[in-house]
Amino acid sequence: MKKYRIFAVACVALMVMLGTTLVQADERTDLGYYTLRDEQDEMITMTGRELDPGDHYIAADNRLFEVTGIDGDTVTVRYVETIELPAVTGELLGAQVGTADGNQGVIGIYHTHNDESYVPSSGTESKDDGRGDILQVGQALASAMEDAGLTVYWSDNSHIPHDGQAYIRSRRTATELLQRNPDTLIDVHRDATPPEVYETEIEGVPTTRVRLVVGRQNQNREANLEYAKRIKAIADDMYPDLVEGIFDARGNYNQDLGPKMILLEFGAHTTSLEQAEQAAEYFAKVIPAAAGLTTATQGAAESQIGGGASRAVVWMIVVVAVVVVGFLLISQGKIGSIAGFFRREAGLGRDDEDDRE
């Protein structure tokens, strides 16, 4: 991510100039959950994540759904299409992933909700001191990646309380980790659903599935969504049934800071810590290949993810240039609406005038 540092600075500068606030999605705090159902009333999945109309979900079988309505705990979705994931070569992946001399790269790991825990293992879904079970999942992921020859920076910084401002507090941690020039930055969480949503077996071993989350309200959405699809494609090839799905949902999740940033949900509060740690062991082999940190996968990763990142960089440079001009015009009283326009176009929220409409 070294070459995107100027890009991240430009993003922050743009948001300051526009007077925006980072858009973050809320999560239920009552341990309740939403059930996603299609137009034929088929249950698609469950989640503790707040959703909005227009959000998308890619199911385990690669069916793409769009959220069309919300009624209480039921989220209605419509089938859009069955997507085609990026092509990956299982033979090359199997030969390269998980070997110290085949990997090189830097990984950053942190936890926005560091209080999250697993009831079957610790008897509570959240720890008031912020030392939740989820930290052990992140540490397991970090240790397994280090064993594979990667350099990993894992942060156990606390961002409690678990509220709507947690992502604002964790942004500082994410920014600090970016100073290490990671190739990918991972925010490790767990969901809140019944256990059957996530429980599975991989190679005969009880494991939790993992859900990927991409924030659709940031300029890196395209690159990060392609990254998520590549992660799923490789996981499906190596460990079928490991990935539960991908949410492309309302929120920012600090993913505006750069491409190849991902939020991973390792199970739910109803699954066990041991199952989540097992999933982390598997994901430690998936992530290097998805991020292009092996000799065999570097070119494919750059091709599949880099295009989206490059377009985002060009887009931001153009927007920043236009906004600078607009800012000067505004200061001279010549233009009064350009800030609201770019706020809407960037998907970073609405201004006060929009809220009144």
Reported as a single tens digit per residue, the pLDDT across 125-140 is: 999 999 999 999 999 9
Please compute the mean of the pLDDT values over residues 12-38 and round it to a whole number.
65
Nearest to 179 by CA among 153, 203, 198, 200: 153
pLDDT above 80: residue 284: yes
Band (356; pLDDT cuts 50, 70, 90): very low
Between the CA of residue 255 and those of 111, 215, 237, 272, what are the distances in Å? 14, 7, 26, 28
pLDDT, one tens digit per residue, over 72-112 is 999 999 999 999 999 886 544 554 544 444 457 999 999 99
Q: What is the pLDDT of residue 176?
A: 97
Band (9; pLDDT cuts 50, 70, 90): very low
| Residues 6+ positions from 216 with CB-CB distance below 8 Å | 54, 55, 56, 248, 249, 250, 251, 347
Nearest to 212 by CA among 283, 270, 113, 303: 283
Nearest to 160 by CA among 16, 21, 29, 23: 29
End-to-end CA distance of the chain: 39
**Of 27-31, 79-83, 210-214, minimum mean pLDDT range:** 27-31
Strand 199-202 to strand 184-191: parallel, antiparallel, or no bridges (unpaired)?
unpaired
Sequence ranges of the domains in the chain: 1-31+102-357, 34-82
**What's the rounded Cα separation, in Å, for the pair 194 and 198?**
8
pLDDT above 50: residue 12: no
**What's the rounded Cα separation, in Å, for the pair 146 and 141?**
9
Q: Is the pTM of this model over 0.95?
A: no
**What's the rounded Cα separation, in Å, for the pair 350 and 357?**
10
Residues in the chain: 357
Q: Where are the alpha helices (DSSP H) in the chain?
A: 5-18, 90-96, 119-122, 134-147, 166-178, 221-238, 273-290, 298-331, 338-346, 352-356
C-alpha gyration radius of the chain: 20
pLDDT, one tens digit per residue, over 342-351 is 444 444 444 4
Q: Which residues are paired to 106 by β-bridges?
A: 151
Q: What is the pLDDT of residue 184?
A: 96
Between the CA of residue 253 and those of 38, 234, 250, what are the distances in Å? 27, 23, 9
Residue 125: count other Cβ atoms within 10 Å of its Cβ. Answer: 18
Q: What is the pLDDT of residue 27?
A: 76
What superfamily in CATH does domain 1-31+102-357 come from?
Zn-dependent exopeptidases (3.40.630.40)
- The kind and range of the H/E element at 188 are strand 184-191
